[in-house]
Structure 1
Amino acid sequence: MSETEKRLYLILGIAVVILSFSGILIKVATAPPLIVAFYRMFLSALILTPVFFLKYNNWKIFLDYRPMLVGLLLAGHFILWITAFEYTSVASAVIFIALQPLFTLLLEFLFAREDMQEGVLIGIVMALVGSIIISYGDLELLFSRVIGDLLAVSASFFAASYLFAGRSLRKKLDYFPYLYVVYSYATLFLGIIVLVLDLPLTGYGTINYLCFIGLALGPTLVGHSLLNWSVRRVSSTVVSLAILGEPVLTTIFAWLLLNEVITFSNIIGGVFILGGIYRVTFIRSH
């Protein structure tokens, strides 16, 4: 392996590790989920604003309805996913959010008329079986955990919808302005909901604000930026396989840092889900 390849894999690995701390920071935060989601998007957009203004300054893209729709879906994704942590374990939440590629595949099949490749159905069934195993295990522990599982699955669907809806837009815009306009609209929608519900924006304590900043700087800006940088230089199979490491690492971090118990159903169900997703991504990339 050349030095360049080693650097590429190192950067990809760093991206996955940083992304893996998203669930930990969300779990540590005690502010309402909507506030966590708002500050995550608001701070991300705020940090990107000077770069957008100085380098691109193309405000016409805000007049297009498509980034508005994508921003709304992204806001919905964060509300559902962050709320899921209120009810279920970190392990369950991050494993269910990994279902996003399968929902993306389903949306492409239904609305983009893309063929369902042979063997993909097996991967989908594997992931479905894994979801049932985890949900059944959580049902035995506490019914409220099932609510959290359903919220995480819904968040996964919104994530897939956000990516699917933005496909045509991503082809027309550079990566940076695309991210900026979507993050800005997500912030706007989240801010409107915060105002309607009359939630205070201050008074959440140092730990919460550190979590907000950490989520914006770490998983949102650095993690996703490095991941998208890697996608253009490493094969999609390698990237897909690396991304599957995120729920595994997050689960381990939750065990080490938060003393969360990893249940047998989490392990077995997680193996089925990650195995199914890997099968689907591997088939699609060949």
Structure 2
Amino acid sequence: MDYKKKIYILLAVGIFFLSTSGILIKVASAPPLITAFYRMFLTVLILTPYFVIKHRSDARYFLDYRPMLVGFLLAVHFILWISSIQYTDISNSVIFVALQPLFTIILEYFFAREDLKEGAIIGIVMAVIGSSIISIGDFYQLGDKLFGNFLALSAALFASSYLFIGRGVRKKLNYFPYLYILYSYAALFLGVGVYLFDIPFTGYGTNNYLIFLALALGPTLVGHSILNLAVRYLPTSIVSLSILGEPILTTFLAWLLLNEQVRITTMFGGGFILGGIYLASVYNNHQNKKKNKLKQAQS
């Protein structure tokens, strides 16, 4: 088996672990803020020995305000997304969070002066249509699932914001120390939130602590690490688009393991959203390749 096939298999494993996060969060009985805190705290705890041994010289970047800001945005993203799963179906939540690439394209248009190409516009329109279809299907539960959908949508916006703002820091730092500092600040802000809201840090039972550990090890460490590895060997477009498999797989796992039914409106709306993300991502990656070739020709 050649290395590319191995990377594709590894990528599929990474997507699988990422797709388990919604299931794990759904079965946890701890408050969303506690779940988010322990997910980040345990991740940082596991990564600390390697950071101290290999990357302690990068600790100076803890004093840079940008990782602190990005860590705050990541913390808010986790709070919103984990909370959304308490109010709406897992399928709805993961589909709305998957809108992150479209929000990134919009942020690039407003703040990085990137042009909105035709494909990106079509993708955004399709995503808006899909979101409307899902929301109409949830309208009869206005105070419940519609609110959960809004939280998931907001989580996607904060996810794209922390990725967008963090680009400048990522150019200075290697991926591992950047993630470590980012996760550390996210854990810190989440811990402050737990303290301010006077939520107990302990007393959630063995099952919940095992779920927290599973979230740290599976979706966070294994899932994200594999995506980072895959980007080094496969085109970014392939890795980005493979992430679209996460909401599909999560929805299937929710149906299989939690007996969560998927409504027709979710399937149709989700199809529009995922199709829109696919179109926008393909066009965006295509434009980036053209720009890079033009820069190389000019240099």
2:240 paired with 1:240: yes
Where does 1:102-113 land on structure 2 (aligned, <5 Å)? 102-113=102-113
The question of whether the paired residues in 2 share the 8 Å contact of 1:240 and 1:278 is answered with no
- Find the counterpart in structure 1 of residue 181 from structure 2: 181
The question of whether the paired residues in 2 share the 8 Å contact of 1:16 and 1:245 is answered with yes
State the Cα distance separating 1:197 from its structure 2 match: 1.1
3-state SS of 2:200 partner: coil
The question of whether the paired residues in 1 share the 8 Å contact of 2:67 and 2:185 is answered with yes
- Find the counterpart in structure 1 of residue 31 from structure 2: 32
The amino acid of 1:5's aligned partner reads K
2:221 paired with 1:221: yes
2:69 paired with 1:79: no
Partner Cα separation in structure 2 for residue 259 and residue 207 of structure 1: 20
- Find the counterpart in structure 2 of residue 45 from structure 1: 44
The amino acid of 1:118's aligned partner reads E
The question of whether the paired residues in 2 share the 8 Å contact of 1:123 and 1:275 is answered with yes
Partner Cα separation in structure 1 for residue 140 and residue 268 of structure 2: 15
The amino acid of 1:15's aligned partner reads G
Unmatched 5+ stretches in structure 1: none
3-state SS of 1:262 partner: coil
The amino acid of 1:51's aligned partner reads Y
State the Cα distance separating 1:198 from its structure 2 match: 1.1
Partner Cα separation in structure 2 for residue 52 and residue 249 of structure 1: 32
3-state SS of 1:221 partner: helix
Superposed CA deviations along residues 94-123 of structure 1, whole A, max 9, x for unmatched, are 000000000011111100111112221011
- Find the counterpart in structure 1 of residue 253 from structure 2: 253
Partner Cα separation in structure 2 for residue 231 and residue 128 of structure 1: 29
Higher mean displacement: 205-214 or 90-99: 205-214
The amino acid of 1:41's aligned partner reads M
Partner Cα separation in structure 2 for residue 140 and residue 3 of structure 1: 52
Partner Cα separation in structure 2 for residue 240 and residue 185 of structure 1: 25
Unmatched 5+ stretches in structure 2: 287-299
Partner Cα separation in structure 1 for residue 85 and residue 174 of structure 2: 33
- Find the counterpart in structure 2 of residue 204 from structure 1: 204
The question of whether the paired residues in 1 share the 8 Å contact of 2:16 and 2:246 is answered with yes
The TM-score normalised by the length of structure 1 is 0.98
Superposed CA deviations along residues 171-196 of structure 1, whole A, max 9, x for unmatched, are 10000100010100011111111111
2:134 paired with 1:134: yes
State the Cα distance separating 1:236 from its structure 2 match: 2.1
The question of whether the paired residues in 1 share the 8 Å contact of 2:97 and 2:152 is answered with yes
Partner Cα separation in structure 2 for residue 119 and residue 148 of structure 1: 29
- Find the counterpart in structure 2 of residue 63 from structure 1: 63
Partner Cα separation in structure 2 for residue 106 and residue 265 of structure 1: 26
The question of whether the paired residues in 2 share the 8 Å contact of 1:130 and 1:268 is answered with yes
The question of whether the paired residues in 2 share the 8 Å contact of 1:70 and 1:182 is answered with yes
The amino acid of 1:244's aligned partner reads L
State the Cα distance separating 1:142 from its structure 2 match: 5.2
The amino acid of 2:206's aligned partner reads T
The amino acid of 1:147's aligned partner reads F
Superposed CA deviations along residues 18-38 of structure 1, whole A, max 9, x for unmatched, are 100010001010100000000
Higher mean displacement: 53-62 or 264-273: 53-62
3-state SS of 1:30 partner: coil
Partner Cα separation in structure 2 for residue 143 and residue 134 of structure 1: 15
Partner Cα separation in structure 2 for residue 226 and residue 150 of structure 1: 30
The TM-score normalised by the length of structure 2 is 0.94
3-state SS of 1:232 partner: helix
Partner Cα separation in structure 1 for residue 194 and residue 48 of structure 2: 22
Partner Cα separation in structure 2 for residue 127 and residue 163 of structure 1: 20
The question of whether the paired residues in 1 share the 8 Å contact of 2:4 and 2:233 is answered with no
State the Cα distance separating 1:206 from its structure 2 match: 1.4
